[in-house]
């Protein structure tokens, strides 16, 4: 009996994992284990012997079982300790140096433009980037056969087979928001709409997605003179140059009559662009008096109301103001570029501060 005890307590102590421990348990106190076999021998003993050996075997069985339980608990503790050592983490280590994020020039300029036009009484309107071709073209007096549709390198949304309705488009300009905002609020109105627009085009000055800001002012007696004053005020404030000079050049857009493209006086002397001086002109926007058909499409009576509209490239004026040479870099997400041209968070747009 003592040999049995020594043997199994020794093997329990040596068992290195739960599987080994289970093997020891089966060999010792399992149904066919050594202790069980000994118990079977009780039948051959005399009542006196049985009275002695029986309780002793039971005691041995209990002892082995509790030694196994204790060893099992010990193994579990050791495993937990090992895992804790392994997964240890020093939460008192200093954090990694934080890099301040920057505001993208497009966001910054959008804020600046919005602030300046807010001073001039313009509210911000928005429209969807996926448009019906009615809003993007027809309502703006660009009928189906009009060459402007082809010129705009429009992205058309895929249609399901058998769907013969006109396809949706990625809006090619912010002008459809003119129609949507007239529908929503009628006249009089004074809104700008900054936002994303899309055209299939890619080079140093074109990216398939870019940003425009649309302007629309409608009232009973709004004229081209109001348009000129508003745009001059805007450019003076935006470029922060008092002597800014604009040139209104006769042009053509289907949605305005008359139409004008607006150029800004500049110089390229020494290879660097300077605004407000020199003998060159740089085109910055398209504008005009809203075409009566466009007013009509927006549900506004052209016999009573008239107004001006303009459309300007946000990325383009950002490039001019901050001396950024390549439009494509705006959308490359290159951290070095963003750190160089980005703006500090919470930096107020130029006009806000005043
Ligand atoms: N939608 C024109 C474009 O993307 C820009 C434009 C020109 C907008 C004249 C206007 C406007 O509102 O009056 O090229």
- In this structure, the residue with its CA closest to atom 7 of ligand 1 is 286
Report how far ligand 1's centroid is from the alpha carbon of 175 (Å): 6
pLDDT at position 266 over 50: yes
**Within a domain: 94:** no
pLDDT at position 151 over 80: no
Report how far ligand 1's centroid is from the alpha carbon of 104 (Å): 25
Q: What is the mean pLDDT of residues 89-107?
A: 86
Q: Distance (Å, rounded) from C-alpha 339 to C-alpha 104?
A: 9
For the chain, the farthest-separated pair of C-alpha atoms sits apart, in whole angstroms, at 129
Q: Which residue has the higher pLDDT, 299 or 325?
A: 299
Domain shared by 250 and 204, yes or no: yes
Alpha helices by DSSP H, listed for the chain, are 2-14, 18-29, 34-40, 47-86, 105-119, 133-136, 147-151, 176-185, 224-239, 292-297, 314-322, 335-341, 350-353
Report how far ligand 1's centroid is from the alpha carbon of 326 (Å): 23
At residue 354, the pLDDT reads: 37
At residue 310, the pLDDT reads: 98
**Within a domain: 93:** no
Domain shared by 334 and 226, yes or no: yes
**Within a domain: 351:** no
Domain shared by 67 and 111, yes or no: no
pLDDT at position 152 over 80: no
Report how far ligand 1's centroid is from the alpha carbon of 342 (Å): 28
Percentage of the chain surpassing pLDDT 90?
A: 67
Q: Distance (Å, rounded) from C-alpha 16 to C-alpha 14?
A: 6
Task: Please give the backbone phi and psi of residue 52, each rounded to the nearest 5 degrees, phi first.
Answer: -85, -50
Q: Which of 302, 268, 263 is nearest to 285 (CA)?
A: 263
Q: Using the atom order of ligand 1, give the atom closest to the CA of residue 312.
A: 5
Domain shared by 75 and 115, yes or no: no
Q: Distance (Å, rounded) from C-alpha 41 to C-alpha 2?
A: 17
User: DSSP 3-state helix, strand, coil percentages of the chain (rounded to 5)?
Assistant: 45, 20, 30
Mutate to test the pocket of ligand 1, among 175, 257, 293 (most ligand atoms within 8 A of CB): 175
At residue 330, the pLDDT reads: 94
Q: What's the gap between Cα 203 and its chain centre?
A: 24
At residue 297, the pLDDT reads: 98
Model confidence at 97, pLDDT cuts 50, 70, 90, reads confident
**Within a domain: 130:** yes
CATH code for the domain of 162 = 3.30.930.10
Domain shared by 82 and 126, yes or no: no
Model confidence at 164, pLDDT cuts 50, 70, 90, reads confident
Instruction: Give the least confident one: 142-146, 250-254, 279-283.
Output: 142-146
Q: Using only C-alpha atoms, what is the Rg of the chain?
A: 41
Percentage of the chain surpassing pLDDT 70?
A: 97
Report how far ligand 1's centroid is from the alpha carbon of 195 (Å): 13
**Within a domain: 257:** yes
Report how far ligand 1's centroid is from the alpha carbon of 307 (Å): 14
- In this structure, the residue with its CA closest to atom 8 of ligand 1 is 311
Model confidence at 225, pLDDT cuts 50, 70, 90, reads very high
At residue 351, the pLDDT reads: 53
Domain shared by 45 and 172, yes or no: no
State which residues form the domain around 37: 2-86
Mutate to test the pocket of ligand 1, among 169, 173, 194, 249 (most ligand atoms within 8 A of CB): 173
If you average pLDDT over every residue of the chain, what do you get? 91
Q: Using the atom order of ligand 1, give the atom closest to the CA of residue 216.
A: 12
Q: Distance (Å, rounded) from C-alpha 354 to C-alpha 344?
A: 18
- In this structure, the residue with its CA closest to atom 2 of ligand 1 is 311
Angle between helices 224-239 and 105-119 (to 10 degrees): 130
Mutate to test the pocket of ligand 1, among 147, 180, 255, 292 (most ligand atoms within 8 A of CB): 255
Instruction: Give the least confident one: 200-209, 318-327, 344-353.
Output: 344-353
**Within a domain: 98:** no
Domain shared by 12 and 124, yes or no: no
**Within a domain: 95:** no
Domain shared by 127 and 205, yes or no: yes
Report how far ligand 1's centroid is from the alpha carbon of 261 (Å): 9
Q: Please say which residue of 27, 51, 86 terminates a domain.
A: 86
pLDDT at position 220 over 50: yes
Number of domains in the chain: 2
Model confidence at 349, pLDDT cuts 50, 70, 90, reads low
CA atoms lying within 13 Å on the CB side of residue 258: 10
Domain shared by 207 and 115, yes or no: yes
At residue 353, the pLDDT reads: 41
Q: Please say which residue of 86, 117, 143 terminates a domain.
A: 86
pLDDT at position 95 over 80: yes
Q: What is the mean pLDDT of residues 82-97?
A: 87
At residue 167, the pLDDT reads: 85
Domain shared by 73 and 213, yes or no: no
Q: What is the mean pLDDT of residues 284-294?
A: 97
pLDDT at position 288 over 70: yes
Model confidence at 291, pLDDT cuts 50, 70, 90, reads very high
Report how far ligand 1's centroid is from the alpha carbon of 190 (Å): 16
Domain shared by 61 and 200, yes or no: no
Q: What is the mean pLDDT of residues 299-328?
A: 94
pLDDT at position 325 over 70: yes
Q: Using the atom order of ligand 1, give the atom closest to the CA of residue 174.
A: 1
At residue 348, the pLDDT reads: 60
Coil, helix or strand at residue 298: coil
CA angle centred on 87, ends 83 and 90, rounded to 5°: 140
For ligand 1, which residues put their CB under 6 angstroms from it?
173, 175, 214, 253, 256, 286-288, 309-311
**Within a domain: 96:** no
Report how far ligand 1's centroid is from the alpha carbon of 168 (Å): 20
Domain shared by 58 and 204, yes or no: no
């Amino acid at each position: 009996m003592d040999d049995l005890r020594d043997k199994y307590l020794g093997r329990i102590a040596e068992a290195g994992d739960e599987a080994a421990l289970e093997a020891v348990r089966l060999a010792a106190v399992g149904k066919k284990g050594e202790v069980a076999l000994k118990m079977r021998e009780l039948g051959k003993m005399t009542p006196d012997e049985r009275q002695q050996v029986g309780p002793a075997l039971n005691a041995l069985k209990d002892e082995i079982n509790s030694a196994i339980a204790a060893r099992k608990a010990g193994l579990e503790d050791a495993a937990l300790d090992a895992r804790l050592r392994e997964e240890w983490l020093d939460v008192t280590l200093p954090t990694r140096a934080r890099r301040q994020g920057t505001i993208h020039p497009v966001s910054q300029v959008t804020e600046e433009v919005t602030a300046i036009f807010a001073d001039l009484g313009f509210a911000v309107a928005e429209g969807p980037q996926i448009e019906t071709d009615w809003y993007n073209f027809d309502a703006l007096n660009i009928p189906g056969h009009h060459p402007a549709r082809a010129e705009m390198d429009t992205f058309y949304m895929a249609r399901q087979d058998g769907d013969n309705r006109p396809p949706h488009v990625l809006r090619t300009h912010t002008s459809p928001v003119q129609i949507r905002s007239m529908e929503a609020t009628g006249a009089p109105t004074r809104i700008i709409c900054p936002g994303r627009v899309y055209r299939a085009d890619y080079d140093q000055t074109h990216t398939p997605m870019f940003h425009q800001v649309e302007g629309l002012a409608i009232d009973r007696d709004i004229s081209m003179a109001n348009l000129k004053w508003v745009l001059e005020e805007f450019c003076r404030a935006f470029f922060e140059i008092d002597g800014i000079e604009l040139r209104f050049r006769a042009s053509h857009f289907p949605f305005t009559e008359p139409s004008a493209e607006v150029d800004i006086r500049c110089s390229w002397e020494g290879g660097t662009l300077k605004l407000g001086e020199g003998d060159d002109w740089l085109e910055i926007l398209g504008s005009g008096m809203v075409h009566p058909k466009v007013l009509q499409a927006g549900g506004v009576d052209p016999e009573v109301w008239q107004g001006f509209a303009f459309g300007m490239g946000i990325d383009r004026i950002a490039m001019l103001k901050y001396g950024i040479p390549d439009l494509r870099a705006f959308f490359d997400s290159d951290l070095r570029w963003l750190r160089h041209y980005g703006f500090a968070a919470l930096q107020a747009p130029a006009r806000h501060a005043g």
